[in-house]
Structure 1
Amino acid sequence: MYAIVDIETTGGFASGNGITEVAVVLHNGREEEGRYSTLINPRQPIPRHITALTGITNEMVADKPGFDEVAPHLFNLLSGRIFVAHNVNFDYSFIKSHLDSCGYDLQVKKLCTVRLARKIYPGHHSYSLGNLCRTLDIGINNRHRAEGDADATARLFSKMIRDDAEGHILKMTRGKNAEQFLPPNLPAEDLEALPYGPGVYYFENQKKEIIYVGKALNLRNRVRSHFSNNDGNRRKQELMRQVYHVRFRECSSELMALILESQEIRKHWPLFNRSQKKYHHRYGLYSYEDSKGYLQLVIEKKRNHLPALYTFNLLQEGHAFIRKLTGSTDLPGEAGYQRQELREPPAVYNARLNKAIDTLQAELPSFVLVEKDYYAEDRYAVYLLEKGCFYGMGNIHDPYNMPLLLGAWKEKIEPSPDNDYIRGLVYQFAEKKAFTRLSLNE
């Protein structure tokens, strides 16, 4: 019924590492039925720190079978049984990935003895195999070797079967229970608390530090999807190890969730977020005074510490902006916009250019986007832009009776961070039918 598994590997994730040892203890729920253990040649060097931890050297595995040679027997041992391990997602990711590469599709239920121990023996400071066995007076021989750890896990599992007065094992292996795929330290209650609507979710580590921020149209389904596919890449396995808590904030719509996600990523810079950390418009329009006192316009790669007059994602957008600004059909040169021969003093020319810049910026729109709130029928989500820049967002019960005055809306909405990505989102969603755009006056 159960296959209790432990492995030793060359590293922490399946996609780039090999298995050096595997042990399986077969258990029928009452007693051990048999066991299998072997060293495996990973066909790659074993790092020194792994040898220091496990004692397994390159010489020890040199004449041992490769995984492809043991795969048929291992697949037969595991098929039809519940895969049990201490931090099951780690062992299962390696075994499944390596069996897949040999043409064997392992599809079995999983049971994590870390998660099970948290249910049956709550309140322990640590649920590592060593600490848990020490606390429960279960001896471990040959620690950090597959057979030694599998034997200790089997004896721990036998004790948990005897102590499982509330039937946690049956509950955790019934159907598609979340306990089978969640990380070892993440409470299932965190997942059950998630709504089925839009919002932003936060993964936190043991110290309650935010390590990942994401957005979702359906919070519960999206968070489940992070853990339901047990792939063996480094980032996924590190996230599984480090996530201890999930919390969330409901948002009225997809757009609100996208904006909040962007703001939270830039506020917390979570370890596992990649997107948006480096997102910014690539080019900026800058002005400088040349040696003759004339203002020059130049389009350059955006500078972090120098405010741009305007920003663009594409160089062509900058060219078009300057043509509109100056009324010229000439493309700028490599150094920026090159003015034609000037017959007016610098002060006059500069004033005219600054006036053109001010006029164009003044023409940038101020408006509110309005859409229905997902969570409340009598409430609307609103997004305020002031002169082309994102001012803030919020929820209002009767937006269509509000005066179309910028100042009145600013009194209702808390200001929040703005960036190029958010402005792009608002303009993109403004074209959708679900949104009403209300133009505002000063």
Structure 2
Amino acid sequence: MRVYAILDIETTGGKYNEEGITEIAIYRFDGQRIVDQFSSLVNPERKIQPFVVNLTGINTEMLRNAPKFYEVAKRIIEITEDCILVAHNAQFDNRILTTEFDRLGYPFEKETLCTVELSKKLLPDLPSYSLGKLVRSLGIPLSDRHRAQGDAKATLTLFKMLLAKDTSKEIITKHVRKDPKRQLEPKLLDMIAAAPSTTGVYYMHNAEGDIIYIGKSRNIKKRLTQHFTNDNRKSKKIQLEVTSVSFEETGSDLIAQLKESEEIKHNKPLFNRALRKSIYSYQLGMSIDEKGYRQLKIEKADSRKQPILTFTNYQQAKAAVYRITEEYQLCQKLTGLHKTQHSCFSYGIKECQGACIGEEAVEAYNARVHTFLEKNSYKNSHMLVIDKGRDVDERSVILIENGNYKGFGFYNLNYQINNPEILRSIISPMKNDRDAQHIIQSYLRKYKVLKIVNLPKEPAI
């Protein structure tokens, strides 16, 4: 007799495979009745994205005293033992669970059934197959939408209906998916097994030894698993052509990003077409208005201009300028956020000191802009970016001279690098282009490194 674990998971949102579980609900179902159930909030130990808080109502305060995943992992293993996982968009829920167990070093492998796919087969021509709209059209009650227990209970009721409709059980049987790792070709499994679970750059080769794809990851083994289990068109082509994978560990994620960018441009791999061009499309520039106020402005990327900051897209740029405006108490009119001939919106709520209508002294306003520039632009900076190395007794170093990226290197913790000539000898020269500038600036805005050492400008090393 088949036994099913109908589940729903709520997550923090965020980057692919970096999400954490905030709530989980599981119903163990023997095909006739619920024989066990489990639900719990989960402390994800990471930030919840604001849009997720709005969607689910689950916030950090609610999870402060909730169990962490490792504290509920045993119960999840018990209730799903010998079960087929059933979920609405099962690939997502299974991926999230597998990722959480991977972090604990436990191989969580289950067959899955997706009620989205089953519904499309057994209930064709419905206007929508999203859980909310689907169950509403079928008259299935749904309480606490976007909460794990409510969604899991609705999925269970939907699954019962689908089981009843599939009288021959052929479709249910056909739609059972085994864990993707079990279905991989031996050559792909061998490549995954040989890959390290460390940060670095990896190179996929075809039978002729040509590089067909270059990528970077904080966990190369996990990233290769994603490549080889994804079923999108590009991934399938890569799976057919790849015959070997080589890799270079970097320890530092920043160095991995820089090296990936340069290697893609140099090698022009077949499956990296989208990344051969510049990776940023907007930049932050500055001008002086007729009254002498410094104006910040989001512009389309222009290699002829020296940007203050660079951004992947306009939304990212606008969000950053909002943060800058708030943090440095700048004027929304002078940062381009509020287009008006009069006072800006912030002035009306007493958060702008009146530069927009000439009330604030030019010198005072420009001083705050200068503070922002000093902190965020390394146009003329001489510095070392020190971060993790490839081993525990090693550090990585990136050299910036006059705002130009010179290259990176590694040194042993037993040696202090004080001599400029010794420093130069360990640095592998790299190309300083606008993408490298963008990668470094973006990374330093978002993440902490072990240390930044400002070097004397005179004499420059």
By relative contact order (CA 8 Å, sep 6+), the higher-ranking structure is 1
TM-score, normalised to structure 1's length?
A: 0.43
TM-score, normalised to structure 2's length?
A: 0.42
Structure number with greater Rg is 1
